[in-house]
A = this chain, B = another copy of it.
Amino acid sequence: MGKTADQYLGIHPWKIIETGFHPDRSEVSESLFSLANEHQGVRGFFDEGYSGKSLTGVYLNGIYEERFMQGMAYKGISNRLAFMVNTVNWLHTRIEMEGERLDLAQSQFHAFRRALDFRAGELERGFVWETRSGKKLRLVFSRILSMKTKELACQKITLTPENFSGKISLTLGLDFSQPHRSFSENFWTCPRQESGAVLGISTSIGHHLFAGMRVEASGKRESIQGEKFVGEHLELDLVEGVSTDIERSVILYTPRDSKKPPDETWAAGMALLERSAHPYAKVLEQNTAYWTDFWAKSDILIDGDPETQQGIRFCIFQLQQTYRGAIQGSNIGAKGLTGEAYNGNAFWDTETYCLPFFLFSNPSAARSLLDFRYQTLAQAMRRAKDLDCRGACFPVATSDGTESCTLWQHASLQFQSTTGVAYAIWHYTHVSGDMVFLHERGAAMLIQICRFLVSRGQWSPGGKFGYYAVMGPDEFQMMVNNNAYTNYMAKRTLEYAASVLTDMDLVSLGCSKDELDEWQRMAREMIIPYDPETGIYEQHEGFFNLPHVDIDAIPVEDFPLYQHWSYDRIYRNDMIKQPDVLMFMFLYNGSFSRKEKLGNYDYYEPRCIHESSLSPSVHSILAAELGRRMEAFEFFRFATRIDLDNYNRNTDEGIHITSIAAAWMNIVYGFGGMRSDGDLLSFNPSIPAHWKSYCFQVVYRGSVIRLEVSAERAVVRVVEGSPVIIVFCGQEVEINQEGISAGISTPAI
């Protein structure tokens, strides 16, 4: 694997810190220093503007636009692209002294430092500006997004003249004129502007977005307006050695229903501004309380490895910022709210990679994710129809439940979103025991999913059932027949649905015993390509006959392959992009023997290029299980610091939010050895060679379980709630607050 770390940031247990500004890393840092609060996400761009490379992105959950693509117009090919759109830059600040404008691409400066604190959700950036005439002004920009009042965000600017007294002018604005980068186009009209408030309406969907601000500052002030812009102009007198603060509170309000009159949005936004525009210090205090509380429950502590300690906390912080289930009807974009790549769309990543984090820390957020799929079941049914099928086909990529992937080879051939929803229904109800959800919503989804699977599948000449012309999770094999993952997941889905529905009132569900029988028959006859001699699952029919590529011989400069290889060249050898056979072996871990897992791991791991950021964690988890400690740790390091060290050379586009969810799994399922696919939750911990200890907590059936692992021993206990029965190091045990401990055997490799 030609991927290497690009280390740059300082190591700190609770922060990421950038010392000195490096313009060539400008956009990578913008992504890393992103803030979010589920409602909005703000990249770590410079408040004062920057004429160098920068993506001044402010994204709101659920605010997207749509565009219909020209080109392929065959039936079933989605041509509607929905994309999260850049909104209003509420941090817009311009600073001038003696006619000289502050711009770090032009100005002289020193002592630059940028830090993001995971314990407060605060971004702070400071430096000393030296004007052409030799004046030195220290500036500190701070920002925070309220975790309490989602519409609220605050900015603070502290100015300290080091060697002069004098005038300074600032403009603070709310700027809707920002172009969306992907299309070099602005998607807003602003029908109403008043002093310090502006209403934006997005051009195609018509989303309403109210932005209003309150500025606290001394000096002369003047209100200004421009096209898609309102602001305030300030003239301040600075005194040498004395710090002056400027603060603003901002409300970004969007109604769930944009069909209402714009004036209602305006009124609601103004009321919220009146009520909630708190001082910076107060919001910081609230946020610190929120994060303190969160970390007490959700921290993962690693002793003996500061780099991965920082990495895993960064991952957890970013994931929690992006989604916590407080906003109904939203989902998790592949890049969260940190950039425009993947158009802000949600993928199968949500159920397959992100759900476990929420399931074991915040089950109601996990449920909200499933509710999103239930609420968009009608769109999935329309999509199935477009594909000449019955039932429901969940979208490969979506903002609102409608398929938004315009590449037919993905949208029409990949079904891991659909089987992923079924898996998540099973996983969620299995772990949480929420049978109400299963009956009220899950059953209806399962029926439609199975109907899709029944109608998309075909019978082979030999009388077996399978899926033809599909693309599995390994996107380096397009349009293959009987992809093992697709077929295995379909088989398990059909079996699960038939078994769970058999006790329900089928008539009221519009389903019948005959239908369940058909599902079971198809599951029974499902083709799962497999070589009984070697015990290796064949990724799809014909995979074993593909030309071999030595992936270690691929030059580093060929990555990412999609950019450097002819498109078709990727698809014609045995190189794989991400786990496919190994993926279902991870998801249904308990269904496979150690020997099977070992054989398949040893066959597929050397063929995997990890071009997907989702890949390393799954390999790490299996490597840990199989005692490949070095590999397990290397993959974990990659997964945990994928963005901090810019392994995939594309963090500038945004943070791999869904991949970093897998980093959480990597500790809990990997080193913690947790498995949630058996009847009981189980742990079988191991520890990387150079770690002193680590610990984490999971919520399980209402109790909080804490696992502490050192080089010699592992201890598991209930720290909150009733005793629970689990499997610990192979033994079924009931654990309580006293805990149970076991020795750790260091594996051979």
Contact = CB atoms under 8 A, between A and B. Distances in A.
Interface of A: 69-72, 74-77, 386-389, 406-409, 412-413, 458-462, 468-469, 478-479, 481, 541-542, 544-548, 562-569, 571-573
Given A462-B545, A572-B469, A566 B72 contact: no
Contacts of A386: 566
Given A459-B547, A479-B571, A541-B545, 7 more contacts: A69-B70, A76-B566, A408-B568, A458-B572, A461-B548, A469-B478, A542-B542
Nearest to A563: B75
A468 B547 contact: yes
A569 B76 CA distance: 9
Contacts of A389: 566
Given A71-B406, A461-B548, A547-B458, A481 B567 contact: no
Contacts of A74: 562, 567
Interchain residue pairs A-B with the least CB separation, the first 9: A76-B566, A468-B572, A458-B547, A469-B572, A74-B567, A388-B566, A412-B568, A387-B566, A469-B571
Contacts of A75: 562-567
8 contacts: A71-B71, A72-B407, A75-B562, A387-B569, A408-B567, A413-B568, A458-B572, A541-B545
A566 B412 contact: yes
Contacts of A77: 567
Contacts of A479: 478-479, 568, 571
Contact of A468 (B69, B567, B573): B573
A69 B72 CA distance: 11
Contacts of A408: 567-568
Contacts of A387: 566, 568-569
Contacts of A70: 69-71
Given A70-B69, A74-B562, A573-B468, A546 B481 contact: yes
A547 B469 contact: no
A534 B572 CA distance: 29
Contacts of A407: 72
Contacts of A568: 76, 387, 408, 412-413, 469, 479
A548 B479 CA distance: 18
A730 to B, nearest CB: 39
B71 A569 contact: no
Contacts of A76: 566-569
B413 A460 contact: no
A437 to B, nearest CB: 32
A564 B407 CA distance: 19
Contacts of A71: 69-71, 406
A635 to B, nearest CB: 27
Given A479-B478, A571-B479, A573-B468, A461 B565 contact: no
Contacts of A571: 469, 479
Contacts of A458: 547, 572-573
A506 to B, nearest CB: 29
A485 B365 CA distance: 55
A332 B564 CA distance: 35
A389 B569 CA distance: 10
A386 B564 CA distance: 10
A388 B573 contact: no
Contacts of A413: 568
Contacts of A69: 70-71
Nearest to A527: B545
A547 B388 contact: no
A390 to B, nearest CB: 12
Contact of A545 (B461, B547, B564, B573): B461
Pick from A69, A72, A544, A567 the residue with the most CB of B within 10 Å.
Answer: A567
A592 B345 CA distance: 55
Nearest to A389: B566
Contacts of A72: 407, 567
A305 to B, nearest CB: 39
B541 A412 contact: no
B569 A388 contact: yes
| Residue from A76, A462, A479 with most neighbouring chain B CB atoms (10 Å) | A479
A408 B566 CA distance: 11
Contacts of A572: 458, 468-469, 481
Given A71-B71, A72-B407, A479-B478, A468 B565 contact: no
Contact of A481 (B412, B460, B545, B563): B545
A388 B565 CA distance: 7
A389 B572 CA distance: 14
A544 B571 CA distance: 22
Contacts of A409: 409
Nearest to A388: B566
A404 to B, nearest CB: 14
A564 B75 CA distance: 7
A408 B408 CA distance: 12
Given A70-B71, A468-B572, A572-B468, A460 B547 contact: yes
A545 B406 contact: no
Contacts of A541: 542, 545
A468 B546 contact: yes
Given A567-B412, A573-B468, A461 B544 contact: yes
Q: By CB atoms of chain B within 10 A, which of A469, A548, A563 has the most?
A: A469
Nearest to A409: B409
A469 B566 CA distance: 12
A387 B566 CA distance: 5
A77 B566 CA distance: 8
Contacts of A542: 481, 541-542
Nearest to A387: B566
Contacts of A563: 75
